[in-house]
Structure formats: structure tokens, C-alpha cells
Structure 1
Amino acid sequence: MTVARTVELEGHIIDSGTMGHCFGVVMDMGGEFEVEEFEVGRHKHAETYCRMTVMADTEEDLRAILHELNQQGATVADPRDATLEPAPEDGVVPIDFYSTTNHPTYVRVDGEWVEVADPEMDCALVVERGDPADPQGTGDAGEGDGEPRVSTKVLNAVEEGDLVVTGETGIRVEPPERPRDGGGSFGFMQGGVSSERPSESLIEEIADEMREVQAEDGNVLAVCGPAIVHAGGRDALADLVGAGYVDALSAGNGFAVHDLERDLYGTSLGVDTENLEHPREGHKHHIYTISEIVRLGGIEEAVEAGVVDEGVMYECVANDVPFVLAGSIRDDGPLPDTITDSIEAQNAIREQAHEADLVLMLSTLLHSVAVGNCLPSTTKTVCVDINPATVTQLLDRGSAQAIGMVTDIGTFIPMLRDELLE
């Protein structure tokens, strides 16, 4: 005896490969499918519609298949409202809670599709029905006449009594689709990784996007690794911050320390970045730098005192560009500005990510993945690193919207600066 459900796919599902992928998911997971209706879009902007019955041996098998199809944008036909269960304790979600993707998502509540605020991967979906006298929507205190709201919550932020979405019913996911003509922003490397050198045409595409974001009063977030300083891209990045092309910066303690060390001692990790010589006791410069900033009270205080007068962190302070420095177990010091509580750092990064319209991930694996985890799939993202593993891991982790460039960061940033400023 088999069990079955009918699902629907709609959009540019042929061009993007979504339909074929969904067929493959069903077969790979031991199920079967039967296409009931299939209407192909007959002109450039027309969408394709597919309705199919999915069959499996058990309810559990079918549920697993439907979950995977849901992640690809398939919707159960004739949907019912989402199933809601209260969280039993703070930080504890119900069994079979729905784990989110970073794609635009809608939840059916009281017969209406409600868009999820701030989509983010690996979170729970929490529903608020909007009645201030009955915030959990039990119906005991009022009529619940407020508009329902659905948002993502990381598991540690879930509170006892929160109404958490469980199962797959009443959930619709809309993965971004590849443009049919391959054009639009970033069409030069749509959906993949480029290992070519940063040619002028590639830089122009990214620079044009940054200009557009700036013109629309949007937000460009730069995610920075220490290699920027080591490889000679620091001054160019500082110029971009000073010129207003970077609206927020996310990094670790190491990036800030090496940037400040370059200003105070002319070295990065004890190496002169101009002539690559090793000054006497240069290996101590980074810890001397930390000590000096701690003594002054922080980066902003060091700038105000005139001790720090150039570099990326200086430009951030001088131009009121907010920055988040997230600490790690490896940090020396750390600097007073570094957030050492990992949950607090995640929340600070999450706020930056939700405000970003364009993200530049510049030669840092851990921070690129951390920020990528918080980004909706609709946020344009460029990841640049000399190590191909950084780019591919980001894409494999779920940030499928990212454009990857495998190249030297010390070449990329100066070329981008020249394109934007000269």
C-alpha cells in the first residue's frame, strides 16, 4: 500500500533546472511521481506550471520527500494552514519543527499566506497572531483581530509558549530563479565560481552594482579577513570606506589588529608589507598594538587621541561606518571592541546581514560562512578568496546566490577601488 500527495511547481522551473531536480529527488529517495498537468511557458517571460502526484511506501518516506521538494519550491496542492505547536521551554522547539531555508518563505495562517520576515537558514518559524491580549494566539483573551506575523528565530532565541511551525503543511518556499537570458546584475558569472583573474569587465560589474546600491541609499556590507592587510589591499579598502562605498564592516579581532598594527608599526604580523622585511622584534608588534589600544580604551578612543590616523578601522570611525568584530578562541588580547560572547556576536552579525543589500566577502572563510548563514538568498553576494575551498564551502553551505571569485585579494580590492574612484 502506498501513500500519495499532490504538489505543484510554478515559475521558470525548466530553465533553472528546478523541475528536473525535483524529479530526481523523488526517485533518489525511493518514491515515484506521476505528472498530472504540465503547461510550458511559450514566450520569454512566461512561467511553466507542473502538477504531479508523489507516491511513497510509508507516510514517513513521503514526508521526507515532501520536505526536500518544499526546499526546492514545490508546494502541496490544496494547502491547509500550517501546523503550530507551542515551544515547551525556552530554547526548546517542538519535535518535527520546520527548519528554514534562506529563501523567501510564506506560511499559511488563518487561511492567508503570510510572508516570513527576515528569512534565514537553519531557524524555526514563529507565528504571532497580533492580539496584544493574547500574544500566543490561543483565542482565550480576545478575537485576535491583529494581522498575523511570521518570523525566523534561532533556536536559542525561542521562548516558552512561542507558536512554532511544525511539519511541511502550509509552507511555500520561493527559491530565486536564474534569469532566462543570463543577464541582469552579476550575469557575467551567474550561479558559479570563477577562477579567472579579476579582469576589468568583472570589476566593472561589481562596481556598477555598488554604485547602484549607493544611489538608492542601500547598504554594502564588507566581510573582511586579515589577508587583506597581508596581501596589500588595506589602503584600497580604506579608500572605499572613506568614499562611502562601504556602509558596514564585519570582521574578527585579527583583521582589526593587523590593520592597526600596519598604522602603528608599518607591519602586519611583524612583516613590512612594503618590502617584506622582518624588522627586529617585529613578531611582537601585534601584541604591542593590542596593548596600546587597550590602554587608550578602544579603537575610537585611539582615533580621537590621534594615535591611529589611517587605515580601514580609522576610516570606519572617521566616517561613522559601524563595524562588528566577532571574537574567536584564537584571539590575542583581544581588542576592547571585540565581542567575545559568541551568541552576542551572532546577533550583531545578524543585524548587519538583515540590513545589507550587497555583501562583499573578502578573503575570510569563517566570517564569510557566518554572515552567509544569516543572509536571505535574495541578497547579492560576492565572495573573493585565493583559496577555492572558501568559495565552494560558502556555496555548499547554502548561500547559493553567492558569486565566487578565486583570486588574489591584494589585486582585487585595488582594481575595484580604481574602478570606483578613478
Structure 2
Amino acid sequence: MTVSREVELEGHIIDSGMMQTCFGIIMDLGGSFTVETFDIGRHKTDESYARLLVEADDEATLQSIVHELHQNGANPADPKDVTLEPAPADQVVPHGFYSTTNHPTFVRYDDEWLAVQNVEMDCAVVVDTDEPRAYTKVLNAVEAGDQIVTGETGIRIAPPERPRGQQGAFGFMQGGVSSERPSESTIRQIAEAIEETRADGGKILAVCGPALIHSGAREDLAQLVREGYIDMLSAGNGFAVHDIERDLYGTSLGLDTESLDHARKGHKHHIYTISEIIREGGIEAAVESGTIDSGVMYECVTNDRPFVLAGSIRDDGPLPDTITDAVEAQNAIREQAHEADMVLMLSTLLHSVAVGNCLPSTTRVVCVDINPATVTQLLDRGSAQAVGMVTDIGTFVPLLAEQLVDEA
């Protein structure tokens, strides 16, 4: 005897590949389906609708199929109110709690659909029944008594859609990674997307790795910060150290980024740099005293662009501005990520993945790295909205600055 459930798909389900994906999920997991209703949009902007009867041999198989369908935007045809259970203790969630995707999410409470605030992947959903409102919490922030969403009843997910004929600067941002794309035309489109974000009052976050300094792109990135094309910066201790080392000693990790020669005693420059900034009391104090007078961190301080430096176990020093508590650093990154409307991830695997984990799928992301594994790992972790460029960061940033600043 088979068991069955009806699910619905709505939106640009053909162009986005949602319908094909759902068909594949059902068959791959051992189920079958019948298309009961299929209304196709007849124009480019029209949405489509399909209702499927999903069948399986047993309830466990059906549940696994419905779970996967739900993660890809198929929702139950007969929605019920969400199931809530109180958190039994601080940082403890009920068994079977709903773990979020990074897609826009809605929960049904008291016959009303509530948009979940601050959506990001791998979180719990808390419902404040007094207001009412729904929002995400990371596990370490859960408090005893929080009303946690459990199961998958009363939950809707809306993955980003790709309507046919999408125009505008963001039309090229359809996800994926390639080293075959024409660099100049793609960089021009990224520049247009940045301009469009600024024109709409959006904020742009740059996630930067030390290779950006080593490759000689420091001055161009500093110019983008100075001219207002970058609103926020997220990086590690190493990025800031090498940026400031370039200002104080003309080197990055002891290497002259102009001549590519190893400076005499250059291997000591990064630790000397850390010592000087500690003596000053921090980056802002060093800028105010005149010790630092150029570079990315200088421009951030001078132009009031907030930055987060998240530490790691391998950091030298670290700088006084570096957040060494991992949970505190995550929270600071999360706060930045929730403010960003577009993110440039520039040659850093760990920070790109960390920031990507905090982003909703509606935030536009460009990831640039010479190593294709950086870009593919970001997509594999769930940031499917990211556009990847496999290219030298030392070439990309100057070309981007030329498009934005020189042609402004």
C-alpha cells in the first residue's frame, strides 16, 4: 500500500529548473508522481503553477522525498500551522528542530504567514508568539523557553527564481563558475552591478584575503574604499597586517610588491608591523597619530568604513583590532552580512565560506580567486547565488577600479 502527499510549485518553475529538479528528487529517492495540475505562464514575466501527487511505498520514504522537495521550493498543498516546541535549555534545541536553508522562508502561525527575519543557513527558527514574528537564531544563541519551529509543517521556502529575459546589470548573475568567461566583459558587468547597488542605496561588502596585498592590488582596493564603492570590509588578521606592512616598510611578507625583491630583513617586517600597531593601541589610533597614512585599513578608518577582522589559530600578534573569540567574530561577521546587498569575495577561501554561510540567497555574491576550488566550495556549501571568476586577483581588482573610478 502506497502513501501520498500533494505538493505545489509556484513561480518561474520552468526557467529556474525547479520543476526538473523536483522530478529528479522524487525518482532518485524511490518515489513516483502524478502531475495533477499544470498552468504554464504564456509570457516571459508570467509565473507557472504545478500541483503534484507524490507517492512512495512507505511513510519514511515519503518523508525523505517531501523534505528534499521542500528544500527546493515545493510546498505542501494543504498548509497547516507550524509546530512549536520550547527550547529545554540555553543552547539546546528540541529534537527534530527545523534547520534553515539560506532561502527566503515563511512560517504559518495562527493562520498567518510570517516572513522569517535574518534568514541564513543552518539556524533554528524562533517564533515570538506575542507580536507575532519569526526570526533565525544560531544554536549558541538559543535561550531556554524560546519557541522553536520543529518538523516541516507550516513552512514555505522561496528559492530565487530566474525569469526568462532577465535584464539589467544583475542579469548575468545566474550562478556558476568558469575560467572561460571573457574577463573584461564580466568585470564590466560586475562594475555595473556595483553601480546599480549603490544607486538603489544598497551596501557593498568586500571579503578580502592577504593575496590581494601580495599581488599588488592594494592601492586599487584602497581607492574603491575611498571613493565609496566598498562600504564594509571583512578580513583576517593577516590581511590587515600585510596592508599596514606595505605602508610602513613597502613590503608584504617581506617582499617588495613593486620590484618583487626580498627586502633585507624583510621576513621580520610583519612582526615589526604588529608590534608598532600594538604600541599605538590599534589601527585607528595609528591612523590618527600619522603612523599609518595609506592603504586599505587607512581608508577604512579615514572614510568611516566599518571593518571586521576575524582571528584564527595561526595569527601572529594578533593586532588589537582582531577579534580572537570565534563566536564573537561570527556574530560580527553575521551583523555585516545581514547589512550587505552585494558581496565581493576576493581571494580568501575561509572567510568567503564563513561570510557565505551568513548570507541569504537573495544577496548577490561575486567570488574571485585563482584557485577554482575556492569558488566551487562556496557554491557547494549552499551559496548557489554566487558568480565565480577564476582569475588572478591582482588583475581583477585594478580592472574593476578602472571600470568604476576612471570611467565614472
When the two structures are superposed, what TM-score results if normalisation uses the length of structure 1?
A: 0.94
Spell out, residue by residue over 1:336-371, the C-alpha distance to the aligned partner (whole angstroms, 9 max, x if none).
000000000000000000000110000000000000
Give percent identity, aligned residues only.
72
Q: Is the 8 A contact 1:106 1:172 kept in 2?
A: yes
Is the contact made by 1:198 and 1:412 (CA closer than 8 Å) also made in structure 2?
A: no
Unaligned runs of 5+ in 2: none
What corresponds to 1:403 in structure 2?
387
Q: What residue number does 2:100 align with?
A: 100
Match of 1:343 among 300, 320, 327: 327
1:383 to 367, 382, 404: 367
> CA shift at 1:213, angstroms?
2.1
Letter in 1 for 2:257: T
- Structure-1 separation of matches of 2:100 and 2:124: 6
Equivalent position amino acid for 2:112 in 1? E
- Report whether the alignment pairs 1:51 with 2:51: yes
Alignment partner of 1:203 is 2:187: yes
| 1:198, distance to aligned residue in structure 2 (A) | 5.9
Aligned residue number for residue 79 of structure 1: 79
Amino acid across the alignment from 2:86: P
Cα pair 1:39 1:49 within 8 Å, conserved: yes
Q: How far apart are 1:389 and its partner, in Å?
A: 0.4
CA distances 1:270-328 after superposition (whole Å, capped 9, x unpaired) = 11111111111111110110011001100001111101000000000000100000000
Aligned partners of 2:45 and 2:163 also within 8 Å: no
Task: Please state how far the C-alpha of 1:184 moved relative to its aligned partner.
Answer: 3.2
Shift of 1:187: 2.7
Q: Could you tell me how far apart the structure 1 residues matched to 2:102 and 2:325 are?
A: 25
Which runs of no fewer than 5 residues in structure 1 stay unpaired? 131-145
Aligned to 1:8: 8
The answer to whether the 8 A contact 2:44-2:163 is kept is no
Cα deviation code 1:353-412 (max 9, x no counterpart):
000011000000000000000001101110000000000100111001111000010011
C-alpha separation in 2, matches of 1:251 and 1:74: 37
- C-alpha contact 1:118 1:152 (8 A) present in aligned 2: yes
Distance 1:322 1:258 in 2: 19
Change (3 A) 1:294 1:178: same
Task: Return the offset for 1:210.
Answer: 1.5
SS of match in other structure, 2:402: helix
> In angstroms, what is the RMSD of aligned CA positions?
1.2
- The answer (yes or no) to whether the contact 1:182–1:190 under 8 Å persists in 2 is no
Code of the aligned partner of 1:43? H
Q: How far apart in 2 are the matches of 1:374 and 1:49?
A: 31
C-alpha displacement of 1:185: 3.0
Rounded to whole Å, the distance in 2 between the matches of 1:304 and 1:127 is 46
Question: Which residue does the alignment assign to 1:21?
Answer: 21
Q: How does 1:21-420 map to 2 (within 5 A)?
A: 21-130=21-130, 146=131, 148-188=132-172, 190-196=174-180, 199-420=183-404
The CA distance in 2 between the partners of 1:40 and 1:287, in whole Å, is: 64
Distance 1:198 1:297, change over 3 A: farther
For residues 36 and 239 of structure 1, the distance between their equivalents in structure 2, rounded to whole angstroms, comes to 57
Q: Secondary structure at 2:169's aligned position in 1? A: coil
Which TM-score applies when normalising by structure 2? Answer: 0.97
Q: Which moved more, 1:319-328 or 1:55-64?
A: 55-64
Task: Give 1:216 deviation, angstroms.
Answer: 2.8
**Deviations 1:243-279 (Å, cap 9, x if unpaired)?**
1111100000000000000001111111111111111
CA contact (8 A) 2:173 2:386 kept: no
Shift of 1:5: 1.0
Aligned length: 406
Cα separation, 1, equivalents of 2:196 and 2:55: 47
SS in 1 for 2:274: helix
- In structure 2, distance between residues paired with 1:217 and 1:9: 33
Q: Distance in 2 between matches of 1:186 and 1:8?
A: 28
* Per-residue CA distance 1:15-64 (angstroms, 9 max, x = gap): 11111110111111112212111111122111111111112222222211
Separation of aligned partners in 1, 2:298 and 2:182: 27
Deviation, 1:182, is: 4.6
